[in-house]
Chain A
Amino acid sequence: MMRARKGRRPGIVGLLAAMVMATAACSVIPTGPGDVAVDDAGSGDPLDPPYARVIAMPPSPDWTPKEVVAGFQAAMASTGDSGHAVARQYLTASFLKKWDPSGEVMVYRQSALDGGESEEDTKETRVTLKGTVTGTIGQDGLYRPGDDELNEPFTLVKESAGWRIAGGHEGLMLSEADVRRAYRLVDLYFLDSKRRGLVIDQVQLPVNPVSTRAKTTVERLLEGPSSSLAGAAQTAFPPDIKLIDVTTENSRVVVNLSKGVTGSDNIAAMSAQLAGTLSELAGGSSVEVRVNGEPYYGDSALVVDAQAQLKFDPWMTPRGMQLFYMQGGALRQLDKDNVGQPVAGAAGDPAKAEGRIGLLARPAVSGHTLRQAAVLSDDRRSVSVAPLTPDGQWREWVTGNDLVTPNWDRYGSLWTVDRPGPQSSIVLRHYYDEEKQQVRPYRVAASDLDTVEVTALKVARDGVHVAVVVRNAMGEDEVKIGTVIGEGAASRIANLRTVVNAGDKQTIKDIAWKDGKSLYVLTGKSELLEASLTAGPKPLVSYPRMESITALDDVLLAGVKDDDGNRQVVYRNVPGWEPWVKDENGSTGFVPDGPSSPVFPLG
């Protein structure tokens, strides 16, 4: 009996243990890798990043005149308030008829809100908004920076429901903070005139709570370029195309259009425009284009690679670009170890200079596969071009009275400006006819530049934007950005707009395009600015005694002379500038007759 019991107990214990283990194995939360991919809720929808917005509130009867104006300012900034219905409640019936929120938006920086003192029985008072007008936003979203004083009086009258605004600025006014909240600066990608390159149009897009950011962006893209690119840029989208929706599906952005475009060139252009425009939002995921919800080609989908814009236009982010610089009267090319070698042909051989190329000449290197160097003679009367091939010889392309440093554009044409007399300039564009082996010069129509002195002209790598430095009769330098329209004899420069006004007898020494959007400006006091159409000039850390600059995207190099007249090329790095070009011994010191005038192709 005892034995039997002893024998049974381990069995019961074992059974219990098995049950406990079985229950443990059936615990609610399993161990091991999960098989469900949970999307990160915190990151949210990449097509619609989070933002804060002002909610418009109607005026309160017990508010003071100042508070009513402040409330009106906030109500104007409300994006969710369709038709500004709430903002209109702040206005008297008569002012309501004049007030038009659909026009140009004034952007200001407020410093004070004055006035508004009212006695018990006053029926009318005045509140003045003081500060600075920092810019305007056009109806097409184009932001124009400005710098004017703001002194905007608001007239208020007391109505039965409290103070109401009876007079003031008759359009929308937004503070800079409101603009940051209510607008997003987006890059829209359009096509150049040959439909082979991409042009970036930076516009301010109002945040629309009813739509996603991606949808508003693509809708704006379909509307076409803003006025700053009028006539210069094209789009692959036909005018009657409509956007149905932009969604994400399997980590792919799906753009649903009402119709497609035909022709492989057009499809490639459209893909590049979409990929470029959505690149900031899509964050590396590919884009699929659909027509009315169906795959683009009916049976197969059109999937646009996230980097399609870079493939379409290699000049968007040029790779493998080597730096050229002058040293010892020869054009040199920097290799991977930052050691310079003379280029092939006459340009790399001071013995063959034939007096065309000075020791400190400012060369320009073309962007062709067949590289060409152009250089202005020391007497500024001629520009010579030599191919960078072993048998390349100098050849005189341009002659003039007082030419500026030449500049190549991506189409292989050479730009320069001749100044036949004081306060007059002629912009010239030269093509080389391969078949006839001759240079064909054209005069570029630029009415804004005819009566001023142009001291520099640089065409951006997108082939559309052009920057010019203009010196007016008072000797003040201005940097303007415009666009090139047409080619050959029909070429003209239009849409010019001042981005930097040096003032104070300050000169502009050099300019260099960073990319299609912004421009580095080097002043006579060796100050460095970054300028663009859509923002005011931004000062950068500079280096003393810079003579010339060149840039390629984030790479910025400058030719510098030290106090002893030694020269070197410096490279802008994160903490500061560092000498860049090594000699044969690997030294990067400043040397007499050292490296100068660094230049990138098309730079």
Chain B
Amino acid sequence: MATPKKRRRTPRQLARGVRRRARRAAGRLRRVFWRSLQLRVVTSTMVISVAVVAVLGVFLDQQITTSVLDARERAATSEAQADRNAVLGFLNQPDGETAKRSEPGETIQGDDSPLGQATTALANRAGSASRYSVIICNRKLPGACFGTTNIDERSITERMRTAVTKGEPGRNSPWYGELYYKGRDEPVRGLVIGTRLDTTGAPQIDSGYEIYHLVPLDKEEETLNAVRQMLVVVGVGLVLLLAAIAFLVTRQVVTPVRLTRQAAERLAAGRLDERLKVRGEDDLARLAASFNEMAANLALKIHQLEELSQVQRQFVSDVSHELRTPLTTVRMAADLLYEAREDFDPMAARSAELMQNQLERFESMLADLLEISRYDAGAATLDVDSVDVRDVVLRAVADSEALAERHSTRFDLRLPGEPCMAEMDSRRVERILRNLLFNAIEHGEGKDIVVSVGADRDAVAVAVRDHGVGLKPGEENMVFDRFWRADPSRARTIGGTGLGLAISREDAMLHGGWLQAWGAPGEGSQFRLSLPRVAGTALRGSPLPLVPPEVEMRRTWRGQMTPVLSPAAVDGGHDAGAVTGGGRGT
């Protein structure tokens, strides 16, 4: 209900809003329900106990009602029987004797009709109308209709009368119905016992006397209502009590489980010294003890593995360092040999050249190993500066120009017109780009390499696209593994160390950026580097698509939509398309 000041909304919108809100609340509730074992146990306990209590309550209510009404009906029937005999006695006596029957102290005199006297006697016997009232009627005779106290003759319905007049004399026909009293507006629920007077033993009496006993059941109704209310109160109390019990009991179980879960979460987050308190000897205590044992073992294993890894890294680092000194000596000697190769016989000269080449490769490999061991040791630092990405790209392309010429490959640069400034370590980014370009040249099979730069408000990106063999599905992550190669039989032509892409990825991650690969068999591959404009901020998306637009368009045309979606939606490099392709790795 929007106030007039607020924006007017159509009812349909309102309904939709309400529906949405309800759906959301239901979802939240469902989530809470399915996440909390305690809530589930309490709820199911309540549902079951409500059902049980309801069934029991209805049963009890019916039993009590039946027994109360039965007792009243029996009492009323016996009273009706006694009254009937009294009436018969009054009607049966000769007229002259009526005066004798009058009770002492009462002024019943002979001039009253026997029926009138009978009714007076019944009225005195019945007492006030709250016990029961009597109506005696013989519709065949004039002036033979009497009632006691303030009962209204409307209480006898035509159906009751028919049942009584058509029925056998002396047979009780009980009816439950509404009793009307003069001076009371509201009818009272009550029991009517109607009988036709049995005059078989006294043929001089007319057989048309109907006697109705009208028993008000308002007291019984009150009692039964009180009982019903009590049953409801007790039932609700019982259900609540059961729910509370279920809550308490499950809490005893769930609390340790919850503590264990929290401890496991903390353990998973790396806090290996997390332990549970062990109290008692029950199953939960044993669970805690086992958990603690597991955590201790895990911590021990992890520690051992860490130590082992540390040793290994240290070993690699040490080996690399240790190798440099002899390598320097070997290098100097090889340089001498290489300088003097003109003087050697061709075989020796060729050997000197080969040695020189492999030594260079060995050196760069050692450098890469040292670099990557710095990353492993966490010693890599960024030297951040605000630079134009286009300049970095151009420098990297210029460095790769010579190699490209050798592979007769051309670069197709697609740079934006305005500067793309970003905070980065330009040396590392240049190295990444150089690696990507070398990699593209090596696998590009001489076809053009497209280098595109994109920028938006938060990020800059550089994509390097080749049209070589591409990548097989699953390989787009493996390409960043150390010493990985797609086709181990293929020789390294450019002389990459096998660590280039791994280092590049570490570099990109150091910037808080992404380095991702896409490739498809026969379609070539594309590597995309995305970096945040401001160092240290998290990347939300990339200005360039990971999958080249033309490939995407072609797929759309074929109507083969793949799960590969727009690059803005992808993250972390786990989303690349399928790639086939030859050897990879730099």
Interface set of A (CB-CB < 8 Å, partner B): 41-45, 48-57, 59-60, 63, 67-68, 70-71, 73-75, 77, 80, 109-110, 175-177, 180-181, 208-212
A55 touches B150 (CB 8 A): no
Can you add 7 more A-B contacts, CB < 8 Å, to A45-B128, A57-B139, A209-B152? A44-B128, A48-B149, A52-B119, A53-B146, A55-B135, A209-B149, A209-B181
A175 touches B130 (CB 8 A): no
Partner of B120, one of A45, A52, A55, A208: A52
Cβ-based interface call for B316 (8 A): no
Q: Which residues of A contact B143 (CB under 8 A)?
A: 54, 57, 70-71, 73-75, 77
Q: Which residues of A contact B149 (CB under 8 A)?
A: 48, 50-51, 53, 209
The list of the 8 closest CB pairs from A to B, nearest first, reads A44-B128, A74-B143, A71-B142, A177-B112, A210-B183, A52-B119, A209-B150, A209-B182
B109 touches A50 (CB 8 A): no
| Binary A-proximity of B104-136 (CB < 8 A = 1, otherwise 0) | 000101011100100110111011111100010
Q: Which residues of B contact A177 (CB under 8 A)?
A: 109, 111-113, 116
B128 touches A74 (CB 8 A): no
Give the CA-CA distance A77 to B150 in the complex, in Å: 15
Cβ-based interface call for B153 (8 A): yes
A41 touches B150 (CB 8 A): no
Q: Which residues of B (154-188) have their CB < 8 Å from a CB of A?
A: 181-183
A552 CB to closest chain B CB (Å) equals 24
Q: Which residues of B contact A53 (CB under 8 A)?
A: 146-149
Q: Which residues of B contact A211 (CB under 8 A)?
A: 183
Q: Which residues of B contact A43 (CB under 8 A)?
A: 127-128
Q: Which residues of A contact B153 (CB under 8 A)?
A: 55, 80
Cβ-based interface call for B145 (8 A): yes
Which residue of A52, A53, A177, A210 has the most chain B CB atoms within 10 A of its CB atom? Answer: A52
Partner of A55, one of B113, B141, B146: B146
Q: Which residues of B contact A63 (CB under 8 A)?
A: 142
B138 CB to closest chain A CB (Å) equals 9
Give the CA-CA distance A77 to B182 in the complex, in Å: 16
Chain A contact residues: over half helix, strand or loop, or mixed? loop
Q: List 17 A-B contacts (CB under 8 A).
A: A41-B128, A41-B130, A45-B130, A50-B128, A50-B129, A52-B123, A57-B139, A74-B143, A75-B143, A80-B150, A80-B152, A109-B111, A181-B120, A209-B150, A209-B181, A209-B182, A210-B182
A44 in contact with B120 given A51-B148, A53-B146, A177-B113 (CB within 8 Å): no
Number of B interface residues in the complex (CB < 8 A):
36
Give the CA-CA distance A175 to B113 in the complex, in Å: 11
B127 touches A68 (CB 8 A): no
Partner of A80, one of B123, B130, B139, B147: B147
A52 touches B128 (CB 8 A): no
Give the CA-CA distance A237 to B530 in the complex, in Å: 107
A50 CB to closest chain B CB (Å) equals 4
B147 touches A55 (CB 8 A): yes
Instruction: Please give me the residue from chain A that is nearest to B131 by CB atom.
Output: A41
| Binary A-proximity of B489-508 (CB < 8 A = 1, otherwise 0) | 00000000000000000000
Q: Which residues of A contact B122 (CB under 8 A)?
A: 52
A52 touches B142 (CB 8 A): no
Cβ-based interface call for B264 (8 A): no
B106 CB to closest chain A CB (Å) equals 10
Q: Which residues of B contact A68 (CB under 8 A)?
A: 142
Give the CA-CA distance A320 to B147 in the complex, in Å: 47
B145 touches A50 (CB 8 A): no
A180 touches B112 (CB 8 A): yes
Q: Which residues of B contact A41 (CB under 8 A)?
A: 127-128, 130-131
A176 touches B109 (CB 8 A): yes
Q: Which residues of A contact B182 (CB under 8 A)?
A: 80, 209-210
